[in-house]
Structure 1
Amino acid sequence: MKINQAEIVMSAVSQKQYPNDQLPEIALAGRSNVGKSSFINRLINRKNLARTSSKPGKTQTINFYLLNDAFYFVDVPGYGYAKVSKKEREKWGKMMEEYFALRDTLKATALIIDSRHEPTELDQIMYDFLKYYELPVLVIATKIDKVAKGKRQKHLQQVIQTLELEDTDVVIPFSAETGEGKEEAWQQMKDYIQ
Structure 2
Amino acid sequence: MTVEQVTLNELEHDALTEIVNIGVSRAAASLRKMIGDQVLLSVPSIEVVSQSRAARLISEREVVDLIAVRQDFAGPFSGRALLIFPETNSLELVRAVTGGELSVEEVAEMEVEALAETGNVILNSCLATMANMLKRSLTMTIPQVLRGNGATLFEVDSEAQTEGLVLFLYIDFSVRMRDIRGYIAMLMDIPSLATLKELLDEFIARVVGDDA
Instruction: Note whether the superposition's TM-score is higher than 0.5.
Output: no
TM-score (norm 2): 0.28
Q: Bigger relative contact order, structure 1 or 2, given CA contacts below 8 A and separation 6+?
A: 2
Normalised TM-score (structure 1)? 0.30
Give the greater-gyration-radius structure (CA): 2
**Structure with more helix by fraction:** 2
